[in-house]
Structure 1
Amino acid sequence: MEPKDSTENEAYKGFTNSACPFMPCHRGITREFNCLFCYCPLIAYECPGPYTVFTDPRGMRRKDCSDCTLPHDGYRQSWHFIQKWLERPVLWDGHEQTRYRVARPEDAQPEP
């Protein structure tokens, strides 16, 4: 088995569960729908995706990322996007989003 960085098989970067009862859960996807990050690993961190903030019944501020398509838009693109943002994670401090979209790390730009 080759290490993932040298293999040409990129199947680990995503999949589409077309049998999911919630499909399509996000509108506006232009490439293959990636279900790998159904629960985004960036939920607890600063991220560029659009989100709103709400307070749960216990008084905890949380992100609602329902409008975000970044972890789902294309297998390779979303894989690289998540990997780049997890390289230097910054914990989210509960603030409202000040910008609708933050610039993505350069290497995480979608391919044309």
Structure 2
Amino acid sequence: MEPKDSTRNEAFKGFTNDACPFMPCHQGVKREFNCLFCYCPLIAYECPGPYRVITDRHGMRRKDCSPCNLPHNGYLQSWSFIQKWLERPVLWDGHEQTRYQVDLPEDAEPRRGGPQGETD
């Protein structure tokens, strides 16, 4: 049993830092703004969020997740979204985002079997 499974208090699933000088850092958030995932734990993994690929000054391809609001859109929704994608993490291989088109965390279900959507 995980400690989070032993409580009914779900306050650990999110918070809003109204004093943050960068608030609001993402546009289009329709629910309470969740600052818990300020730095998204999916940055190195496949994810459905809208991202661009940039090449840094050292030639490394990186995800620019600036347009993504999935980890911020609602305390419970964004917590569930991140947890689902971390259950079966697939390392991001540097490709452009072409597979997923989602707007809300409810639509962001990970595909079973990896990025091509193969089923078990």
- Normalising by structure 2, we get a TM-score of 0.82
Distance 2:70 2:6 in 1: 25
Match of 1:77 in 2: 77
Distance 1:3 1:52 in 2: 36
Name the aligned partner's letter for residue 105 of structure 1.
E
Name the aligned partner's letter for residue 73 of structure 2.
D
- Normalising by structure 1, we get a TM-score of 0.88
Match of 2:37 in 1: 37
Match of 2:6 in 1: 6
Q: CA deviation at 1:98?
A: 1.1
Q: CA deviation at 1:3?
A: 2.7
Deviation track 1:31-87 (CA, whole Å, cap 9, x = no partner) reads 100000000000000000000000001110000000000000000000010000000
Q: How does 1:1-112 map to 2 (within 5 A)?
A: 3-101=3-101, 104-105=108-109
User: Which structure 2 residue ranges, 5 or more long, are not aligned?
Assistant: 111-120
Q: CA deviation at 1:100?
A: 4.9
Paired residue total? 105
- The CA RMSD measured in Å over matched residues stands at 1.6
User: Which structure 1 residue ranges, 5 or more long, are not aligned?
Assistant: 107-112
